[in-house]
Amino acid sequence: MKGVFYIMSSAGLDTAVNCQTKASSIKNAGYDFVCRYYNVNDSSKNLTYAEGRALSIVGLSIVAVWENGYPTSDSYFTYSKGYSDGTAAYNYAKNTITQQLYTPIYFAVDYDATSAAISSNIVNYFKGVADAFTSAGGNYGIGVYGSGAVCNYIYTNVGPVGYTWLAGSASWSGYNTFTTWNIKQGSGITVAGVQCDSDTGASQIGGFTI
């Protein structure tokens, strides 16, 4: 179901750095949410349960994004890869993080995909993610991170995808025309000593606390 979970947020950041000891400083700097990774290839990037609790305690909501390996070319995106990524992401959210039910996990498309690739490879990938989520219990939503063209097409054509996160690369297709994002990525910054990207959230971002 699209747009099922509502949290009012305005200012956020995304980072590959564990923010457990920085949570209070990030909150005091005026931020409302922190976007963090799930993946299996590089566990050092992952949100941990302890980190999630620390962020939650100070009043920061968490946004989860799956980016495993290099989702940076057409060849990464297949139905089978979507199914395996979806299964791993769902299990990590449920069993390791205890992510709040019915909140989404965003899946990254981290390159400027062509319209042909979007309508074939990337659609098939997200159908795989959706089927994996259904098989696992169907208790989490699905979001897409990518260019405006990717966000628009996947949100419109893959029914279970209910959230969009517009990548910060202004040269990517659809950046200037896609305006109905839930999260919009900004420039690289440093907050409380953490290297990150800034993000702006709309009224529903799919954030959660634990």
Structure confidence at residue 1 (pLDDT): 39
Query: Does residue 3 lie in a domain region?
Result: no
Beta pairing class for 11-14 and 194-201: antiparallel
DSSP lists the bridge partners of residue 195 as: 190
pLDDT > 70: what percent of the chain?
Answer: 96
What's the confidence (pLDDT) of residue 203?
A: 80
Number of domains forming the structure of the chain? 1
User: Over 70: is that where the pLDDT of 75 sits?
Assistant: yes
61 assigned to some structural domain: yes
**Shortest CA distance to 2 belongs to which of 153, 150, 143?**
143
Q: Using one digit for the tens of pLDDT, what is the confidence trace for 163-195?
A: 999 999 999 999 999 999 999 999 999 999 999
Q: Position 50: which residue type?
A: A
Neighbour-count burial of 178, counting CB atoms closer than 10 A to its CB (0-12 exposed, 13-18 middle, 19+ buried)? buried
Strands 183-191, 61-66: pairing kind: unpaired
2 falls in which pLDDT band (50, 70, 90)?
A: very low
Q: Is residue 107 part of a domain?
A: yes
| Residue 2 belongs to a domain | no
Query: In this structure, is residue 167 part of a structural domain?
Result: yes
Residue 26: inside a domain: yes
Q: Is 210 domain-assigned?
A: no
Q: Quick: pLDDT tens for 108-144.
A: 999 999 999 999 999 999 999 999 999 999 999 999 9
| 32: CATH | 3.20.20.80
For residue 5, is it within any domain? no
Domain of residue 70, residue span: 11-201
Nearest to 95 by CA among 29, 156, 139, 35: 139
The model carries a pTM of: 0.94
CA distance 173 to 166: 11
DSSP 34-100: EEEEE-SS-GGGB--HHHHHHHHHTT-EEEEEE--S---SGGG--HHHHHHHHHHHHHIIIIII-PP
**pLDDT greater than 70 at residue 8:** no
